[in-house]
Chain A
Amino acid sequence: MRFLDLSAISDADKQACEAIARDAGVNLKDCYQCGKCTAGCPLAESMDLVPREVIRYLQLGAVDVVLEAKTPWICAQCVVCSSRCPQNVDICSVMRAVRLASKHAGKRPVPEADIFDDEFIANVRAHGVSNEQYLAAAYNVKSGHFVQDMGNATRMLKRGMVGVAMHNTKGRANVAALVDRALAADSTRRAQADEGKGGEA
């Protein structure tokens, strides 16, 4: 843990942390900081805040610290933390909620992770299914990692795993409309939550 000026934390910060916990479906007070989540996390060594610290900062109301953290974007969503937590805190769900809050706040501490998921959903929206070769190509271009996995792409081509043909679901227009409706429902829910917050204040 780093030095933290608790007097600089506002009520709004605390409310933002509680909102994240609500989205994640957890009670932050359940965590007694044992660190078992962190002991089992296969990516903890690469994180700027270990999973236990993310929960701790949320408990303290330090919302900016977690929204800037790379940790939720490094998390592979493997759910080991949640499954081993002796207090049944769904830490993995917290990582997801923090990452979404961070994204909606216009931040993306690990741009590659954000680009990958955006490209993935764009691919599914356009074709109904994910075309891995085009996803990888689009990812490389947008992330600037132009030659990443190029050798592997050649190996896949040789094995007939990928080709130039684009796969499409028959009802792809249907899927595109579904994606749009889902994202609209998502914005509506968030707008209502913001309004509720405004009402309380």
Chain B
Amino acid sequence: MMKYAYFPGCSANTTGKSFTVSTAYVAEKIGVELVEIPDWNCCGTSAAALTSPELAVALPARSLAIADRELPGLDVVAPCAGCYRSLKTSLAFARESEENRELIKKIINAPYEAKADVLTLLDVLATDEARETIAAKVQRKLRCLKVACYYGCAMVRPADVCECDNVEDPMEMDDLMELIGAEPVDWAFKTECCGAAQQMTIPVQAKPMIERIFQNAVANGADCIVTSCPLCMLNLDMREAEINRARVANGLEPFDIPCYYFTELIGLAFGADPDEVGIDIHFHPAKTLLLQRELDALELEEAENIARAEEARKKAEMAAKIAAKKAEKAAKEKAAKEAAAQAAAQPEEGKEAAE
């Protein structure tokens, strides 16, 4: 049993509902226990960092201190990438020096030793143990579904804080998607920024950031975008419609590219109904593609079965031909032997007669 302290984050019950539901579904199926940190508070995200450095480290530290106290020995998992980065930044600051810890303790007014580590949900699901369990639980491989795995910024950058060794081309999500039978595409915008809160504050300037992400995914043959951050999801999924309206007005082809949480797709591979993992409340229609690709997978399987049967038939035919040739050869050899024996016997007879 894998057990973690769970930091849901503010979007868990609102805009990130589908992420929460699908995370719970997958965790339950593979035996990962997520224990919610009691009385956790908002991580502060970039708003705190852009208000005060002290506030940016103290807000996450309060929840981390509660986790250390109430759930000792458990590492903290924060599925939201924004929460992850804030928590991890605060943790790195606390671990840097005794002086930093003293500052935090004074502000949060509680003891804190920075014991628990902070993990993304991808970290949790990419362990060997979790991967083995996931592979064993797959009931339906999501074949034919071409996915652009979108990591965004906050899980990979800053690289030293996020302990990410491949900031330009992370692979954890790609590997998980392969494990459930989907086809990750190679694309250039894996870790590009979705615009985050700037989609609200400077929408005109920030909108092209989303459009470019869609463009690159489509150009590289993806059917859909798979994400692991509720804010990336909201910015892409909710704003696809407005981007499409602008594109149509400019005589451009609209996008038709749904977005999913990676946990939703793992849930589907485990046999969940799309509604069970929150796919029914997406903004951009997200069910038709899945049905289409399920059908494609069935057709592919059928074609493969036919091809396999044809191959078996050919093999049997060839084996029969080989057997026939062998029998023919054996018969010939037998006949030749007999003839030789006969020829050898005849001179004997002649000799006998002469004597």
Residues of A within 8 A of B (CB): 23, 42-43, 45-46, 74, 76-80, 82-83, 90, 92, 96, 99-100, 110, 112-113, 115-118, 120-121, 124, 128-133, 136, 139, 143, 148-149, 152, 155-156, 159-162, 167, 169-172, 174-175, 177-179, 181-183, 185-186, 189
Contact = CB atoms under 8 A, between A and B. Distances in A.
B316 interface: no
Nearest to B56: A182
Contact of B58 (A128, A170, A178, A189): A178
Contacts of B109: 174, 177-178, 181
Contacts of B200: 112, 116, 136, 139, 148-149
Nearest to A95: B50
B11 A124 contact: no
Interface string B1-25: 0000000001101110100000000
A158 B86 CA distance: 31
Contact of A148 (B17, B39, B203, B238): B203
A67 B198 CA distance: 20
Given A77-B46, A120-B47, A178 B62 contact: yes
27 contacts: A42-B195, A42-B212, A45-B205, A46-B202, A78-B193, A80-B193, A92-B158, A96-B49, A96-B50, A100-B50, A112-B200, A112-B201, A121-B44, A121-B47, A121-B55, A124-B48, A130-B10, A131-B10, A132-B15, A133-B14, A148-B200, A148-B203, A160-B17, A169-B39, A171-B41, A178-B59, A183-B54
A124 B41 contact: yes
Given A79-B158, A83-B167, 16 more contacts: A74-B202, A100-B50, A110-B201, A115-B201, A116-B201, A120-B45, A124-B41, A132-B15, A143-B201, A149-B200, A152-B238, A159-B283, A175-B59, A178-B109, A179-B59, A181-B58
Given A83-B167, A124-B42, A132-B10, A76 B193 contact: yes
A160 B17 CA distance: 9
A186 B52 contact: yes
B130 interface: no
Chain B, interface size: which category?
A: 35 or more
B158 A178 contact: no
Contacts of A80: 153, 157, 191-193
Contacts of B58: 178, 181-182
Contacts of A90: 158
Contacts of B209: 42-43, 76
B153 A78 contact: yes
A186 B54 contact: yes
Nearest to B156: A83
A162 B42 contact: no
Given A116-B201, A136-B200, A189-B54, A156 B15 contact: yes
Nearest to B282: A159
B283 A182 contact: no
Chain A CB within 10 Å — which of B39, B192, B196 has the most? B39
The 10 lowest CB-CB distance pairs between A and B, nearest first, are A78-B193, A46-B205, A120-B47, A79-B157, A182-B55, A186-B52, A159-B281, A112-B201, A130-B10, A117-B47
A155 B283 contact: yes
Contacts of A181: 58, 106-107, 109
Contacts of A115: 201
Contacts of B107: 178, 181-182, 185
Given A175-B62, A185-B106, A130 B42 contact: yes
A182 B196 CA distance: 25
Contacts of A174: 62, 109
Contact of A182 (B41, B52, B208, B281): B52
B215 to A, nearest CB: 13
A49 B47 CA distance: 22
Interface string B176-197: 0000000000000001110111
Contact of B14 (A43, A96, A161, A189): A161
B303 interface: no
B92 interface: no
B193 to A, nearest CB: 3
Contact of B53 (A43, A128, A133, A186): A186
B281 A113 contact: no
A110 to B, nearest CB: 7
A140 B108 CA distance: 32
A74 to B, nearest CB: 6
Chain A CB within 10 Å — which of B11, B15, B157, B209 has the most? B157
Chain B CB within 10 Å — which of A110, A118, A169 has the most? A169
Given A77-B196, A121-B47, A181-B109, A43 B205 contact: yes
B240 to A, nearest CB: 11
A96 B195 CA distance: 16
A46 B207 CA distance: 11
